[in-house]
Amino acid sequence: MSRFGLIGKNISYSFSRKYFSEKFAAEGIAATYENFDLQHIAQFPEILQKYDDLAGFNVTIPYKEAIMPFLDRLDTTAQEIGAVNTIKLEKNGSLTGHNTDYFGFLKALEPELEKQHQKALILGTGGASKAVIYALKVLGIEPQLVSRTGSKNAILYTQLSEEIIEQHKLIINTTPLGTFPQVEECPAIPTRYLGNEHLVFDLIYNPSQTKLLQLAAAKGAKVQNGQNMLELQAQKAWQIWNEE
């Protein structure tokens, strides 16, 4: 019996546990999947010491970057992205970090793209945004980060003018704002400037339509949540865990 799990904080809502538990039951796989809800990433080694049947982890907010110093190596993609959402326990006991978020996002986004989606606003600057940037560059889309504090790489929400919204027909939310149960929360973007040429992609999947997506849809924008991305990245994680 192999044990898999999700590393994160306040993750009772987790997609991963339900997805993999149902997969294991349906396919007769001798494995379990559980949430490892950590108040601090320093608790991670305790999990490794406690269980001797661990085979792999998924990693979610807020530890996609903080987990990296605890790993023995990163695959090339995870190293380039600078964030990890999948960990494989190798046969020799070492830990290898991977990133399947970029794969799930890319494959979920690609069918929705139209010719006007040449530039993207990425809301948030955490680990998920790094995977999104990587995927956008693969697709040849120019990314622009947006944050509450601003930096040399990010503009402020308060700088989002009608002109900037008009120039960026693709908007991606990588923040947790709007996740259940805080469903009335929303990134502070001027949705009044959105139109039917915009595509708004929210990585959140619970609820299925966040406040941001509701406001965007009301302006005629095309909207998509993170459910398909999650399923695709989970399938990729399973593939990695089972590679020899």
Measure the CA–CA gap between 242 and 56, rounded to whole angstroms.
10
Site of tokens 């915009």: 198
Q: Are 67 and 44 in contact (CB under 8 A)?
A: yes
Catalytic residue among 18, 23, 64, 137: 64
SS (H, E, C) 199-239: EEEECCCCCCCCHHHHHHHHCCCEEECCHHHHHHHHHHHHH
CA 72 to chain centre: 22
| Residue 118, both tokens | 């040449």
Residue type, 68: M
| 64 flagged as catalytic | yes
Name 157's bridge partners: none
| Residue 195, both tokens | 């139109």
Half-sphere exposure at residue 41, Cβ-oriented, CA atoms within 13 angstroms:
13
For the annotated catalytic residues, the residue numbers are 64
